[in-house]
Amino acid sequence: MTKIEMTEEIVFAKKSLELTWEEIASEVGMSSVFLTSACFGMNSLKKEYADKLCEFLKLDEKISIVLQEFPNKTWDFTIPQDPVVYRLYEIVGVYGETIKELIGEKFGDGIMSAIDFTMDIEKEKNPAGDRVVINMNGKFLPYKSW
């Protein structure tokens, strides 16, 4: 079974049971962002969480096994077409150098970890239109000289 086939089965079960990612993550005991990413094949789960997910969604053990496999974190080099993903791509395109510059100014020469990392997505009510709040929190990793 491939990661893509795994994702298709998970998404089908989620829809069939009329659940949200928040509900699934709460039952499994994880962040909805990380759990969703694992279900989409971009992260892996420890056996305990993979088994809980499969039990909750009534999925076969083979899904648990694939959820535990190391991901192949790759993506197309083309510009994404989905409007939400494209806007995130656009944000990095427009603000990426600014973010890099400000991280360098505040922390020194280094990067923000995407391994020692958390992210939360919240909805902020606003009379002018609800706002999407994305909070990314990554450990600073300085570059080393040798």
Q: What's the confidence (pLDDT) of residue 128?
A: 97
- Is residue 130 predicted with pLDDT exceeding 80? yes
Average pLDDT, whole number, for the chain? 93
pLDDT bracket for residue 72 (50, 70, 90): confident
pLDDT bracket for residue 75 (50, 70, 90): confident
Q: What is the mean pLDDT of residues 35-53?
A: 95
- 113 as an active site residue: the answer is yes
Q: Which tens digits make up the pLDDT trace of 88-116?
A: 999 988 888 888 988 998 999 999 999 99
Residue 144 phi/psi, 5-degree rounding, is -110, 145
Q: Which two tokens stand for residue 15?
A: 């829809």
- What secondary structure letter does DSSP report for 43? S
The active-site residue, picked from 55, 101, 113, 131, is: 113
The active-site residue, picked from 8, 48, 87, 97, is: 87
Q: What are the chain's domains?
A: 3-67 (1.10.260.40), 83-142 (3.30.1160.10)
- 31 as an active site residue: the answer is no
The CA distances from residue 16 to 10, 27, 103, in Å, are: 10, 17, 44
Where residue 58 falls (left for φ over 0; alpha for ψ -120 to 50; beta otherwise) is left
The CA distances from residue 45 to 35, 54, 64, 130, in Å, are: 8, 11, 8, 32
Question: What pTM, to 2 d.p., does this model score?
Answer: 0.79
The active-site residue, picked from 5, 48, 90, 101, is: 90
- 26 as an active site residue: the answer is no
Nearest to 58 by CA among 23, 25, 17, 3: 17
Q: Which tens digits make up the pLDDT trace of 13-24?
A: 999 999 999 999
